[in-house]
Amino acid sequence: MIKDQVLKALNEVLKKLTVDNIVVDLQPPAEKIEIVKPGFINFWISKVQLTSQLHEYAKEKFDFSKYHFGPNKKVMVEFAHPNTLKLFHIGHLRNISTGETVVRILEAVGNKVIRSNYQGDVGLHTAKCLYAVRNKKLEMKKLKTTSDKTKFIGKMYTEGTRAYEVDPKAKEEILKINKMIYDRDLEIMPLWEETRKWSLDYFDEVYKRVYSHFDRLYFESEFYERGTEVCMQALKSGILEKSQGAIVFNGKKYGLDTRVFINSLGFPTYEGKELGLAEKEFSDFGELDKNIHCVTPEQSSFFKITFKVEELLNEKKYKNKQYHLAYNWVNLKEGKMSSRVGNIIEGPWLIDETKKKIVEKFKCDDETAEVLAVASVKYSFLKQSVTDAIAFDLEESIAVDGNSAPYLIYTYVRCQSILRRHSGRVPSLSAQSLARMGENELNLMRKFSKFPEVVNKAAIDLSPNDIANYIYDLASSYNVFYQKNPILKADEEIKKIRLLITLATANIIKKGLDLLGIKTVERM
């Protein structure tokens, strides 16, 4: 009974809409309006509107609506975060892919975005590695390439970690080295600096390979003095308190955990250093509306607390401006990666494997294979929600059909190929061609019109997978269209429409992939 009444009511609404001529004023103008069970009014976008959009897209003009976090229109995205003397593994690869696309999406909706990267170059992990490196000066001299040096460091890190676990004497020694690094002891500094440089060179190669770069590299080693100072201030003003020889934040009254900022030896912990970092990040580039930290979810307690302390220190500067984008892990299907188990999958290695498979399957040249490999790997991460863990399967991640980057790029290349064959200019549509427009064409054009909405939603929700899923859906629809409708062999009026559609499809795929930080190729 109620459902019937709803439909009746909607009919009244519809009548009213028509009577009041509201329909005429709709933007975009509606082609038709109809009532559908169980209670919807559907508005159909007019051909005129769709066609004008089609012309825009054919010219690569995309008008994304603006989205800002505040009046400065300025955002920092902090991502990548590899630690020196450790491997850049597939988790980092997901991180950097996510961070890079978030940057590009936020830029597309009108923000000035600063790319930053906070790297752990001090701490126990460095001490463990240097412990093993210390007596291998001769071996070090023989290492020439970045790749050799990286492998060497990886081996040393494993060795140091093992020694730390099984040999109490080694453990003691490593803790001593750790303190030496903090004290900038001249005995260890040259070694620390040299190996640190090796790591950073290696990271640079990776960044370049996946088309990322940073406006500022921050290092943990920069922040222990300033971090300590800020903690002391916070202690004075009662935000932090002393407890069992350490300086801590007591989170109880805020329903948060209690965490240590300065340990009982007087060293700042990760938390302590973070306060120094925040101060710097919020002043290096003027006023920020938002600082988005792209970091795994196990840090959520850590961020809740440091954000709280920062807010208590300076409400105006920090409140509601810090954001933890908890992108999730890449787990192996067999379980979690860990250096202890020795099942870490290195990022560049994964790209290499994918590349091999692409060369083998498609016989393409090295340059093309490289673009496709990076695209495949990035896309396999980005097509999923950032906040969900990925169950990583090597075979599947290097898959090149189905919902994959090669499929999207293939569709793009196919469009380009058609456009190349048609040497003439792609024309504008007349009223005559508008009349000849069929349902197949209109369906695709309706999909085009969603692109700006999707990008806007991706910006608001920080969800690049919306864009990935959208372009996949578009590519797939175009391929169906292509299968059923001849383009170059159609008669003149229809051919015009279909060429424009082909061009718009190619442009949207290219732009969409670009927002994901993925390159396209012209032939493959």
Instruction: Please say which residue, 153 or 288, places its beta carbon nearer to RNA.
Output: 153
Minimum distance between the CB of residue 393 and RNA, rounded to whole angstroms?
A: 7
Instruction: Please say which residue, 8 or 208, places its beta carbon nearer to RNA.
Output: 8
Residue 233: Cβ within 10 Å count: 13
- Is residue 260 close enough to count as binding RNA by CB under 7 A? yes
* In the block, residue with structure tokens 């060293």: 267
**Range 283-322, binding RNA (CB under 7 A):** 297-302
**Range 419-478, binding RNA (CB under 7 A):** 421, 461, 463, 465-466, 469, 472, 476
Query: Which tokens hold the place of 86?
Result: 């450790």
Q: What whole-number distance in Å separates Cα of residue 290 and Cα of residue 102?
A: 13
Instruction: Please say which residue, 74 or 128, places its beta carbon nearer to RNA.
Output: 128
Instruction: Please say which residue, 328 or 505, places its beta carbon nearer to RNA.
Output: 328
Residue 430: Cβ within 10 Å count: 11
Instruction: Please say which residue, 215 or 257, places its beta carbon nearer to RNA.
Output: 257
Q: What whole-number distance in Å separates Cα of residue 488 and Cα of residue 421?
A: 8
Closest C-alpha among 132, 143, 127 to residue 83: 127
Show the site string, 226-245: x = touches RNA by CB under 7 A, - = not.
-----------------xxx
Minimum distance between the CB of residue 42 and RNA, rounded to whole angstroms?
A: 5
Peptide bond into 190 cis (omega under 30): no
- Is residue 82 close enough to count as binding RNA by CB under 7 A? no
Q: Which amino acid is at 422?
A: H
Q: Which amino acid is at 514?
A: D
Q: What string of H, E and C letters represents the secondary structure of 61-106?
A: CCCCCCCCCCCCCEEEEECCCCCCCCCCEHHHHHHHHHHHHHHHHH
Among 388, 428, 430, 438, binds RNA (CB under 7 A): 388
Among 203, 207, 410, 448, binds RNA (CB under 7 A): 410
Burial class (CB in 10 A: 0-12, 13-18, 19+), 483: exposed
Among 20, 148, 167, 257, binds RNA (CB under 7 A): 257
Minimum distance between the CB of residue 126 and RNA, rounded to whole angstroms?
A: 8
Minimum distance between the CB of residue 372 and RNA, rounded to whole angstroms?
A: 7
**Range 329-368, binding RNA (CB under 7 A):** 333, 336, 358, 361-362, 364
Instruction: Please say which residue, 210 or 386, places its beta carbon nearer to RNA.
Output: 386
Label the pairing between strands 74-78 and 290-294: parallel
- Is residue 381 close enough to count as binding RNA by CB under 7 A? no
CA dihedral 131, 134, 135, 137 (to 10 degrees): 150
Query: Which tokens hold the place of 141?
Result: 């001299």
Instruction: Please say which residue, 36 or 48, places its beta carbon nearer to RNA.
Output: 36
Among 15, 32, 39, 453, binds RNA (CB under 7 A): 39
